[in-house]
Structure formats: structure tokens, C-alpha cells
Amino acid sequence: MAEKRKRLPSSSPEGDSMSHWEIPSSDPPAEHEHPYASLLCCHSIQDSLLSSNSNFTGYRGILNWIIIFLVLTHAHLFLENFIQHGFLIDVNKVVGHLIEDNCNWPSAILILTTNIFPLVALYLERTQEKGLLSPASSHRLHLLNLGFLLLFPAAVILREPKISTGGAFFFLWFYTVLGLKLYSYQETNRWYRLAYLENSCNGCGAQGVYKEHLTLQDLYYFLLAPTLCYQRDFPCTPKVRINKLLHRLLEMVVVIQIMVGIVQQWIEPIFQTSEISLFTMDITVRLEHLVRLVAPTHFLWILFFFLSHSYLSFWAELLRFGDQHFYGDWWNATNLITFWKNWNIPFQKWSRRHVYTKLVDHNVPPSQAELLVFLMSAALCEYLIALPLHSCRLWIFLMMVLELLVAVFFSYYFQGNYGNGLVWLCLLLGPPLAVTTYFHDKYTGSYRPSSLPQTSHHKVFRQLD
């Protein structure tokens, strides 16, 4: 049956030349919504989810896929390793590398002697507070105490043959951290003292305002706290959470076991295929060894970061230390400079507070001050790794300088996701791999068993001779 129809008014300037929707005359008035209005327009302006403009962050499913894919793709490597070498994990061997000859434990004794240096620092602070020492004399004595603190472990490691490699590492790192803490301790107390004197001159100071903080309890709390920067009245949490404490302790035990397994089951067999150091290898053989070491070295580095997180969080929980900002989201860094600023927050705070600020105060341009701080940190990393291994080839220092050049010259071309990919590439091929080369040369020079079978290269050299 035919129905009367009417046309909707057109908004187009062409009028009747445009096609129009026609509706029955029995429809509701025009001011009411069309019953199919939601179906007429199904498109709007929006970006693809994987586009950089979409601001989409729900990648958890992709992360799970990557983890499963990595496990499955590396499963054959572990299987081939067990078939070829058998089960190599031996905790007794690890303990043998850590303890000293004849169980004399010289490194443990040297760590106990470190109590002398904090006590000297506390005595100098108390003496200056009583007015028995001038600020200039106290500052010189503090620097002399710190000089002995830093030179003593280096001299002992170089001259004492009974210290094992593991003991030397622990001993040197302990002394270095103590030196950074004591420098912050004397410097910050000097700032408090100057602020107190300024307030006293303005009539708002009170005698003994800082005297109560010069105690053994205050000093040793700072030495045990997971921070390098001293201040009075650290922020504290309400109580110690036992479940968190046990959780962190379990994490440390598990992560250490996994790290030992990677070293003995994966890295050490690669070391055994070489009888000479990487420094004296042919370039092609050297590259082949480094490529094989990339994956286990990177896994070891990630586990070391997680171990540091668990260790610092354990002490923070035990001491009720409130500031647990030990690192930023360095995994999202789009350039290496952002990564360095978020990788190690305690050292970043210390270097900016006690080095960068001083350099700027002495009219050093901020960019040059940042460069000097970076070079200092690179030299410190080289010192902490090379000295216990008695091998200083500047590989770690040069690798970090090379990364700095990459950050300066490629930051304009690699931004966003591409910049983050460049950061991860540098982490795969950067300082962690350079650290492994030091241990490779140490192993080939000291720990390589004489009973290992000769490699094919070694047999060829014997035949040529």
C-alpha cells in the first residue's frame, strides 16, 4: 500500500540536487532522535593501537607472549648445554672462589677494621663541635681519613695474595661505599653547622641544636641504611613488615642460585673453549666468543639488578627506612642519559649533591659538570671491576664513553620507541659484556683446569709447531 512520504530538509547548498532520506509521515517529530541514528555513523577519527600517537599502554598480553616465546626459544640452548656438558652446577666451587686460602678470612678481618674510619669521623665531628678544632683543620683531617680509607683496600688487594677474587670484590666494594657515605657524613654535618651558625647570628639559633645527632646510633644507622646521602632524621615507616622482610630474603636466595646456575652451566663452558685472553685473540674468534656471551651476560645483568632491588629493599624494611626510591623506570628510557639518571638513584643523588653542585658553585658550566660526573662514575666502575681481577684494560671505561658518544650523536635520530630500542641494544652490547670479558681473561689465566680437553684450534697449533 502506498504511503505518503515527506522529505527531510537538506543542509546542503545544492538543495534538490542531493539525495535525501525519506521517512514515513507517521514517524515522530524531527526533534526526536532517529531510531537508527547509532547505526548510521560507525566511524570516527582514531589511531591504530600500535601507533605511537594512540597513547595505548595495555601491552601486558604482548609481554606475556614475549616471555613465553623467549623461554621456548632458549629451551633448546639449555637442552643442548645439558646434553653436551652434563650438570655443572657446584655450590662448593662457588664457596671455594669466595673463601681465602687456609680459611684465614683476611677480607672478613679487613671489613671489621673498617669501624676505625667511622669512629675517626665521629671523633672529628665531636671535636669540632666542642671548638677544639678549626673548620679548616677538621676538613683536612676528614680528607686524610677518607684518603686512607680509599687507598688501604687497593694496597691490600695488590700486595696480599691470600685474598680470593670474591673476597677482594666484597672487600673493595664495602670500602668504596663506606668512603662515599663518610664523605657525605662530614660534608652534610658541615652544612648543618653553617646553617646553625647563621641562625645563631640572626638570633634564632639555640646551643646544642645539632649536638644530639653526633652519636654512634645515628652514625651506624646511616652506615647500614640503603642510601649514600646523609641527613638527620631520615623518614621512617611505621613498623617492620615481617612478611615483606621474608619475601625479600627469599628473593635474594633464589636469585643468587639462578645467577650461580647461569655462570656455571652457561658462561663457564664458553670460557672453557678458549685458552687465551680475548685481548690476544684473532678478531673473528673474539667476535664469535662475544656473540655467544651476549645472552647469558644480559640475563646475569638483569638478575643483578633484581638482586640489588631485593637487597636494598630488605635493609630498608629492616631499618624502617622510608625512602625506597632506588631506581626509576629505566626500562622505558628513550635515551642513554635518561637511563643513567634512573638506573642507580642513590649514587645519582650522591653525585649530584656532592660533586655536580660543587662544580657548578665553582663556575663550571652545567654541561661540563655533568660530563665530569659521568667520567667519574665510569672510572669508578672500571676501578671496582679491574682492581680485584688485577687487570686494568679500560674496557668498561671506554665502553661507557662510547655509549656517551652514541647518546650525544644519535639522540636526534632515535627518539620514542626507536630510542628505547637503541638503549636496550647498548645494554646488550655495552658495559655488562665488557665486565664479562674481564672475567673471561681471569678464568683463562687462573681458573682454567689443566685437565680440560684440548680444543681443535690448540691441536692445529701443536701440529704447526
- DSSP letters for 19-51: ---EEETTSPPTTSPPTTHHHH--------TTS
What 8-state DSSP symbol labels residue 266?
A: I
CA pair distance 244, 320, nearest whole angstrom: 12
CA pair distance 279, 301, nearest whole angstrom: 22
Sites in the chain below the pLDDT cut of 70: 1-34, 36-38, 52, 76-77, 81, 84-105, 199-211, 275, 279, 445-465
pLDDT digits (tens, 9 = 90+) for 212-259: 778 899 999 999 999 999 998 889 988 889 999 999 999 998 998 888
Dig out the grid coordinates for 179 from the structure: 668512603
CB of 24 closer than 8 Å to CB of 5: yes
Nearest to 248 by CA among 319, 345, 170, 178: 319
Torsion angle of the four alpha carbons 261, 265, 268, 269, in this order, in degrees rounded to the nearest 10: 180
Nearest to 385 by CA among 448, 438, 344, 442: 438
CB of 228 closer than 8 Å to CB of 194: no
- DSSP letters for 323-346: -------GGG-SSHHHHHHHH-HH
CA pair distance 414, 420, nearest whole angstrom: 8
Q: How many CB atoms lie within 10 A of CB 283?
A: 7
CA distances from 176 to 22, 31, 124, 371 (A): 85, 79, 20, 21
Residues in contact with 248: Cβ distance below 8 Å, sequence separation at least 6, in sequence order: 310, 311, 313, 314, 317
CA pair distance 441, 395, nearest whole angstrom: 12
- DSSP letters for 150-193: HHHHHHHHHH-TT--HHHHHHHHHHHHHHHHHHHHHHHHHHHHH
Sign of CA dihedral 112, 117, 120, 121: negative
Q: Which helix (H) or strand (E) holds 7?
A: strand 5-7
Q: What is the pLDDT of residue 211?
A: 53
Q: What is the pLDDT of residue 22?
A: 45
CB of 168 closer than 8 Å to CB of 446: no
Q: What is the pLDDT of residue 209?
A: 46
* Whether the model pTM is above 0.75: yes
CA pair distance 372, 376, nearest whole angstrom: 6
Nearest to 277 by CA among 91, 150, 122, 448: 448
CA pair distance 233, 218, nearest whole angstrom: 9
State whether residue 321 is helix, strand or coil: strand
CA pair distance 146, 178, nearest whole angstrom: 9
- DSSP letters for 385-403: HHHHHT----HHHHHHHHH
At 51, which amino acid appears?
S
Instruction: Name the residue with cell 657524613.
Output: 185
CA pair distance 151, 406, nearest whole angstrom: 34
CA pair distance 60, 82, nearest whole angstrom: 32
Nearest to 210 by CA among 226, 228, 225, 230: 230
Torsion angle of the four alpha carbons 80, 84, 90, 93, in this order, in degrees rounded to the nearest 10: -120
Residue 163: HSE in the Cβ half-sphere, 13 Å Cα cutoff: 26
Phi, psi of 251 (to 5 degrees): -60, -45
Q: How many CB atoms lie within 10 A of CB 82?
A: 12
Q: What is the pLDDT of residue 21?
A: 43
CB of 230 closer than 8 Å to CB of 222: yes
